[in-house]
Structure 1
Amino acid sequence: MIRTGDDYRDSIRDGRDVFVNGETVRDVTTHPMFRPLVDIRAKIYDMAHAPETAPIMTIKRDDDVQAIGNALPFTQADWWAKRRATDLVLDTVGGIVTRVGDETAGEMWSLYDAKDALHALDPQFSGNIETHIAALTQTDPFHVSANTDPKLGQDSDMRLHVVRETDAGIIVRGAKYETAAAYANQAFTKPTISDWGDGDGSAYALGFICDLSARGLKFICRTGFAGRASAEDYPLSNRFDEIDTLVIFDDVLIPWENVLFYRSVKAAMIVRATLHRYSAFAFMQRSLKFADMMIGAALLNLRQSGLDRLQPVQEKLAQLACYREGINAHLSAALAMAERSPGGLMMPNQSLLYTGRVLAGSQLAQMMHLARELCGGQVSLTPDIASFKASETAPWLDKVYTLDDEWIAEDRRKLLAFARDLLNSDYAGHRLSFQLFAQSPPYAHLASVYRNFDWDGPIAFVKEAAGLSERVMGDKTLTCADSPTSRWFSSAPQAVETTP
């Protein structure tokens, strides 16, 4: 059943313990700091029902209508459909939302690929994977993903771990950071990159689906940007701030049917090695939209005064365009060169996907600074909306900011406010930091490239071109076959024939 927006709102009115800005939140659906994103998530649910958007937002399989974001990808066409749906959502809401479920569903597909390997390690939990993937497609929950740990000592009681076992399940204690957890339904909770403890029986090497309405959970949220200042002055901060949450597990029961792996460092390694195999695509697609927003804000500011005709300015705009098209090229090529996964799904070409992710993340700060330069100093100098409305100052501001019949003061003010919030505000700085670590730190991004790039091709070419003998062991370079992924999978991913 595809949920409605009201179904979703009702599902998170469950008495959970949410705290923000020193206060207890009684209802996240109405609280001013949470409501903007709750409304956007509800809007996405409603788009699956609206006649004009339902054909793009849903897919029919086995007589069931599924949300396209949750549906397993079996073909390239499935991926193009997912891309169209995400574009439709971002265009409809008029901005970027990152943690709304479609990007974290991909981590469940990675589990689907790993189910045989996890079964070989511990058969008692492998069946839970398919059960939860079926639930994701059939019950349509708001699904997020928790793996970021607070920086803690090795012996800290707040490192997420198993306290004890019961007939009903395991009791866990500790803490995790998770964006959107306070207003989501469930989270795939697993270890971070290397926090698995010592020995294969480590109590820290566990993964499970957490019902976010469970007793014992506490959600301690950072203060949101919404409501701090006028929405006229900060249009993005007030509409698109996704609240990050420190989730406290205070002896929380995780039923056995929700446990995916437990006391298995090898299982944790499998999950971490393949975690972003699919979700990196959605991450990059948001980066593409962010590039479009920077280009649009910069170019409109330049065209007001005709500065876009200057050669030095065009060169800077071309740099932004190269960044944007670099992301677009990696996204499109990753689909055009898609691969069959070990579990039989269709996955974006892994080398192209991960190198594109590095491009998008590593150059973002530079591109934001370039966009600031192109937008000019007025982005940081323009008075706020109150001054544009006050009787004593409005006439002067109207005169100063009106250029001609096309660019009146109000439109210029709106554009400058948009650019300021996109590039200069607290929200802008937060997004930059968030993008840097949203899918792992930069060194992990490069490690994924190293594991998935085909090193054999360049080596074989140079051996042949240089006339090296067969005694030269070029195949000792780390390749996909040596990656943590394929240590546990019997066959490497296979390329498929494609039709763009």
Structure 2
Amino acid sequence: MIRTGEQYREGLRDGREIWIDGEKVADPTKHVALKPIVDIRARMYDMQHEDVHASTLTYVEDNSQHSIFNRLPREQKDWHDKWAACDAVMNDIGGVVTRVGDETVGEMWSLYDGRDVLNEIDPRFGDNIANHIQAVIETDVFHVSANTDPKGDRSKAPQDQDPDMMVHVVKETDAGIIVRGAKYETASGYADQAFLKPTVGAWTNEQLSDYAVGGIVKMGAPGVKHIARSGFAGRASAADYPLANKFDEVDFLMVLDNVLIPWEDVFFYRHTKAAQYIRGTLHRYSAFPYTLRILYVADMMIGAAMWNAKQTGLDKMQAVREKLADLVCYREGINAHLTAAIAAAQKSPGDLLMPNQSMLYAGRIFACANLPQMMHIARELCGGQICVTPNEAAFKSAGSGSWLEKFYSLNDNWQAEDRRKLLAFARDLLNSDYAGHRLTFIQFAQAPHFNHLAAVYNSFDFSGPLDFVKRAADLSDRVTIGKA
């Protein structure tokens, strides 16, 4: 059944070990760096119980109500429903969050498609992934990903340096496998469980490797430690940094210090073929909600830039309109790729409906690769005042406030306070430490750019262009397409 926000918060009070800035966190639901994002995830749970949102965020099956985000996609409507649910959440919270469950649960669907590969190792493993997908649906847990290892010296094989630089199995027991290592994972400290999977290992022709392991790790399990980066929330006034204080998704180094993964939570173990399969198909579904998030970022940039143009009376200038049109083209380019990916969706090997892979991966490239340039265009449209405007305290001070009121009031419609709020929002969106962090996160959260390009190459059907040119150039029949 769907959870409430308080049930989610209570689940985080399981004695898990969390460290932030050298301090051991007693209660993640109350810590200044974690409370804002925990409250947003809790709000998402509570929205499911509200009459105004329930029909958008949930569905009923076998007389039970479940989250629409966790529903296995079997028809186009399922993807449109997920998009509508994301719309409802982002509009309710007034911002953008990425790692809140729906963007990562799809990774397990990819492995569900590969049950035949898992069954080659052990028939139990194929059943395990199916059971876990159903468990996520039934328990509505906050499920994230455990993807990137520290890796260490990449010129060396993992076994030729400290072996813990990549997660590996150290022992097999009757109860399950024991793993050691670490993963970088956004949200691990305030999630319920993570899908642990290997980074691409230094494998050649090995069939077996202790580094080829995948399964579910409970975030409060013995031996799991969460070491956070410094948070952005609480560093400065929320009035001056409205996004950083509410939407910071905290990243962790999740240390696995001899952690037991029970056999029922193991999806594959020591099998490089399964590990390579999941790496090649990992974002088959999850790239959709990930790319969709960037659509909302584009909307925020357009809105901030357009309001600034309206405030200052520059919205009628052709040069300004052209730059706004560039932002609109970027936004609509993302929209077009996502819309087309649903319209041309494909059946998966597991009989699910996956977004058209070539269009989806090309859309992810379009969204990620062009984001830095689009942020700069938005920065230009917002003007230099986003980096020189004093903070809220200066506007309220008796000594400086009157002068700021004078110089920041534009006309009868736009007084100083609204001007200050817009500039603070734009600064936090485009110029702040938080803005730089989010840009880097988007560039790497689903793998670096070269992996994105590899996904496009591997998903595109080259036979059409090859056949077209073969006929147009009148090449001989001896020329065959062959295998890539």
TM over 0.5: yes
Cα separation, 2, equivalents of 1:332 and 1:300: 27
CA, structure 1 residues 238+196, in 2 after alignment: closer, same or farther (shift >3 Å)?
farther
Superposed displacement of residue 340, structure 1 = 0.9
Equivalent position SS for 2:267: strand
Cα separation, 1, equivalents of 2:4 and 2:197: 29
1:441 to 448, 455, 462: 448
Cross-structure match for 2:163: 157
Superposed displacement of residue 63, structure 1 = 2.2
Superposed displacement of residue 466, structure 1 = 1.7
> Deviation per CA, 1:161-210, whole angstroms, max 9, x where unpaired?
11111111111111100000000000000011345587221100000100
Cα separation, 1, equivalents of 2:109 and 2:84: 19
Cα separation, 2, equivalents of 1:194 and 1:406: 60
Equivalent position SS for 2:399: coil
Moved more, 421-430 or 159-168: 159-168
Cross-structure match for 2:304: 297
1:364 to 367, 371, 375: 371
Superposed displacement of residue 310, structure 1 = 1.4
Say whether residues 1:330 and 2:366 are aligned partners. Answer: no
Q: In 1, are the aligned partners of 2:121 and 2:268 still within 8 Å (CA)?
A: no
Q: In 1, are the aligned partners of 2:201 and 2:211 still within 8 Å (CA)?
A: no
Cα separation, 2, equivalents of 1:328 and 1:203: 42
Q: In 2, are the aligned partners of 1:29 and 1:38 still within 8 Å (CA)?
A: yes
Equivalent position SS for 2:236: coil
**Aligned residue type for 1:157:** P
Say whether residues 1:145 and 2:145 are aligned partners. Answer: yes
Return the TM-score normalized by structure 2: 0.97
Cross-structure match for 2:6: 6
Equivalent position SS for 2:52: coil
Superposed displacement of residue 317, structure 1 = 1.1
Superposed displacement of residue 320, structure 1 = 0.8
> Deviation per CA, 1:430-478, whole angstroms, max 9, x where unpaired?
00000000101100000000001110001111111222221112234x2
Cα separation, 1, equivalents of 2:112 and 2:455: 19
Q: In 2, are the aligned partners of 1:196 and 1:205 still within 8 Å (CA)?
A: no
Q: In 1, are the aligned partners of 2:96 and 2:296 still within 8 Å (CA)?
A: yes
Residue segments in structure 2 that go unaligned for 5+ positions in a row: none
Equivalent position SS for 2:144: strand
Say whether residues 1:452 and 2:451 are aligned partners. Answer: no
> Deviation per CA, 1:305-362, whole angstroms, max 9, x where unpaired?
2212111211111111111110000000000111111111111000000000000010
Q: In 1, are the aligned partners of 2:95 and 2:247 still within 8 Å (CA)?
A: yes
Equivalent position SS for 2:260: strand
Equivalent position SS for 1:475: coil
Cross-structure match for 1:133: 133
Moved more, 115-124 or 453-462: 115-124
Q: In 1, are the aligned partners of 2:167 and 2:181 still within 8 Å (CA)?
A: yes
Matches within 5 A, 1:426-437: 426-437=433-444
Alignment: residue pair count = 477
Q: In 1, are the aligned partners of 2:188 and 2:219 still within 8 Å (CA)?
A: yes
Residue segments in structure 1 that go unaligned for 5+ positions in a row: 479-500
Superposed displacement of residue 151, structure 1 = 3.2
Cα separation, 1, equivalents of 2:116 and 2:77: 26
Superposed displacement of residue 274, structure 1 = 0.7
Cross-structure match for 1:23: 23
Cα separation, 2, equivalents of 1:211 and 1:110: 20
**Aligned residue type for 1:349:** N
Matches within 5 A, 1:37-436: 37-153=37-153, 154=158, 155-158=161-164, 159-194=166-201, 199-436=206-443
**Aligned residue type for 2:6:** D
1:474 to 457, 478, 481: 481
Q: In 2, are the aligned partners of 1:291 and 1:324 still within 8 Å (CA)?
A: yes
Q: In 2, are the aligned partners of 1:66 and 1:138 still within 8 Å (CA)?
A: yes
Cα separation, 1, equivalents of 2:342 and 2:122: 33
Q: In 1, are the aligned partners of 2:226 and 2:255 still within 8 Å (CA)?
A: yes
> Deviation per CA, 1:262-321, whole angstroms, max 9, x where unpaired?
000100011111110000000111000000000110111111122121112111111111
Cα separation, 2, equivalents of 1:197 and 1:164: 23
Q: In 2, are the aligned partners of 1:150 and 1:177 still within 8 Å (CA)?
A: yes
> Deviation per CA, 1:37-73, whole angstroms, max 9, x where unpaired?
1000000001111111000000112222110001101
Cα separation, 2, equivalents of 1:334 and 1:388: 48
Cα separation, 2, equivalents of 1:42 and 1:49: 12
Cα separation, 1, equivalents of 2:310 and 2:203: 54
Superposed displacement of residue 249, structure 1 = 0.6
Equivalent position SS for 2:414: coil
Cα separation, 2, equivalents of 1:243 and 1:130: 30
Equivalent position SS for 1:174: strand
Cα separation, 2, equivalents of 1:196 and 1:377: 51
Cα separation, 2, equivalents of 1:18 and 1:197: 37
State the percentage of identical aligned residues.
Answer: 59
Cα separation, 2, equivalents of 1:98 and 1:10: 22
CA, structure 1 residues 331+229, in 2 after alignment: closer, same or farther (shift >3 Å)?
same
Return the TM-score normalized by structure 1: 0.94
Cα separation, 1, equivalents of 2:38 and 2:140: 15
Moved more, 26-35 or 309-318: 309-318
**Aligned residue type for 1:327:** I
**Aligned residue type for 1:56:** T
> Deviation per CA, 1:127-185, whole angstroms, max 9, x where unpaired?
10111011000011000001111131423232211111111111111110000000000
Cα separation, 1, equivalents of 2:423 and 2:203: 47
Equivalent position SS for 1:474: coil
**Aligned residue type for 1:156:** D
Cα separation, 2, equivalents of 1:246 and 1:311: 48
CA, structure 1 residues 196+30, in 2 after alignment: closer, same or farther (shift >3 Å)?
farther
Equivalent position SS for 1:205: strand
CA, structure 1 residues 108+68, in 2 after alignment: closer, same or farther (shift >3 Å)?
same
Moved more, 150-159 or 315-324: 150-159
Cα separation, 1, equivalents of 2:129 and 2:151: 29
**Aligned residue type for 1:240:** F
Equivalent position SS for 2:312: coil
